[in-house]
Amino acid sequence: MECEEKIEKLLNIIERVANGEYERDNWRGILDSVAELFEADVAAIGENREGYVLYTKLSSYADRFEYYDPDKFKVPLWRSALGEAIKRGYIIVNDYQSYGKAVEEWRRLGLKSVIVAPFGDRNVFGSLAIGRFREGKPFSEEDGKILKSLAFIFSFIIKEDIEKRKLLERAIKDHLTKLYNRFYFEEEGRRELERAKRYGYPLSLIILDLDNFKQINDRFGHQKGDEVLIKFAEVLKKSVRKTDMPVRYGGEEFLVLLPHTHAEEAIKVAERIRKNFAGVAFRAGMEVFRLTVSAGVASCDLPEDCNLEDLLSKADKALYMAKKEGKNRTVVFSHEGIG
């Protein structure tokens, strides 16, 4: 690519970023142009999440990947090419297949060469990367310096986006368990019920309450109680689908809203949660203890006849019966009675 053409493409990218074009398609169009600028196959933007960079924004070339999950292809912040890039602002690896710090998933995918430029200096919060999956001319130092400049420009927008998302999460998620909170459930739950009415699909709700939880706080203190709540939240998230809504409703009470789910399926989910949690052992000093959970299930097979308050009330009545019948069980509400 001629120098003048390269400068023109670079200025075009900067102008489109300044005009907010990235908001239309999660950066895809911009990243397509970045890949074209460097005669690369793919361009990607990654975010630092707990010491790993996950590439969540990719150019169109990524559609060719048979299977791509950002979590499976995450890159260690320091034990990788990115770690070396942090020291000088970018790194060029023209033989990724034999590179000592290559991430195996990317190597297996066939990545041949890459340039990585971090967002931020000491506090790295992500990176901009380009790569080739075919043999070709090597990336140059000039390419590295240009990518570093683009990363500097992109970084302001990415950082602002991350900060906005963090503020939103604080508003809708419980600070201890990181599950959705009551406010989010009441707002989004009503919207989900409206969607169910519009499209005619069933909806179920599970209310779960940790059995004898107060005894844990009384015997071992609130710190141990918090540990139990955090662990239960982990079990809950692993036991439900991504389309379900796990919620900490208050104290030791939790909810799961399950779209496209009949009562029979919801009972299976509740039982899976109950059994998974029953297998968790906790330690307090020399003592090892386990907890159980009770669950109440209510469903709307005909959503037009339901509202969120009624669904909550029915599931709560089912939970009450589960407690009354001896705890550590699942009870479902039915119009013929609770059973």
Please indicate, yes or no, whether residues 200 and 263 belong to a single structural domain of this protein: yes
Please indicate, yes or no, whether residues 209 and 157 belong to a single structural domain of this protein: no
Q: How far apart are CA 239 and CA 330, in angstroms?
A: 15
Q: How far apart are CA 328 and CA 159, in angstroms?
A: 45
- The 8 Å CB, 24+ separation contacts for 61-69 are 61/35, 61/133, 65/109
Bridge-based pairing of strands 253-259 and 245-250 is: antiparallel
114 occurs within a structural domain: yes
Please indicate, yes or no, whether residues 90 and 231 belong to a single structural domain of this protein: no
Model pLDDT, residue 169: 84
Question: Which pTM was predicted?
Answer: 0.67
Active site residue ranges:
252
Query: What residue type is assigned to position 237 of the chain?
Result: K
Q: For residues 158 and 134, is the Cβ–Cβ distance under 8 A?
A: no
172 occurs within a structural domain: no
176 occurs within a structural domain: no
Please indicate, yes or no, whether residues 9 and 155 belong to a single structural domain of this protein: yes
Tell me the average confidence (pLDDT) per consecutive run of 10 residues in the chain, 339 residues long.
82 91 90 95 94 94 88 89 87 95 93 95 90 91 94 94 87 94 94 91 96 94 96 97 95 96 96 96 93 96 84 96 96 71
173 occurs within a structural domain: no
What CATH code is carried by the domain that includes residue 240?
Answer: 3.30.70.270
Q: Which of 320, 308, 317 minimizes the C-alpha distance to 335?
A: 317
Spatial CB neighbours of 73, under 8 Å, sequence gap ≥ 6? 54, 55, 103, 105, 106, 109
Q: Token match 């039915």: residue?
A: 334
58 occurs within a structural domain: yes
Please indicate, yes or no, whether residues 107 and 212 belong to a single structural domain of this protein: no
Q: How far apart are CA 99 and CA 67, in angstroms?
A: 23
Model pLDDT, residue 334: 78
- Final residue belonging to a domain, choices 167, 192, 220: 167
Q: For residues 308 and 189, is the Cβ–Cβ distance under 8 A?
A: yes
36 occurs within a structural domain: yes
Please indicate, yes or no, whether residues 255 and 128 belong to a single structural domain of this protein: no
Please indicate, yes or no, whether residues 76 and 190 belong to a single structural domain of this protein: no
- Final residue belonging to a domain, choices 109, 143, 167: 167
177 occurs within a structural domain: no
N- to C-terminal Cα separation, the chain:
72
Model pLDDT, residue 88: 85
What CATH code is carried by the domain that includes residue 12?
Answer: 3.30.450.40
Instruction: Count structural domains, the chain.
Output: 2
Please indicate, yes or no, whether residues 162 and 187 belong to a single structural domain of this protein: no
Please indicate, yes or no, whether residues 239 and 290 belong to a single structural domain of this protein: yes
CA angle 99, 104, 106 (to 5 degrees): 85
271 occurs within a structural domain: yes
Please indicate, yes or no, whether residues 208 and 302 belong to a single structural domain of this protein: yes
Please indicate, yes or no, whether residues 155 and 272 belong to a single structural domain of this protein: no
Q: For residues 45 and 22, is the Cβ–Cβ distance under 8 A?
A: no
Q: Which of 278, 275, 307, 273 minimizes the C-alpha distance to 291?
A: 278
Q: Residue 314's Cα: distance from chain center in Å?
A: 31
Q: How far apart are CA 44 and CA 35, in angstroms?
A: 9
Please indicate, yes or no, whether residues 223 and 147 belong to a single structural domain of this protein: no
CA angle 202, 208, 214 (to 5 degrees): 165
- Final residue belonging to a domain, choices 142, 167, 192: 167
Domain range spanning residue 113? Answer: 3-167
Q: How would you list the strands of the sheet with 293-300, edge to edge?
A: 245-250, 253-259, 203-210, 293-300, 330-334, 337-338
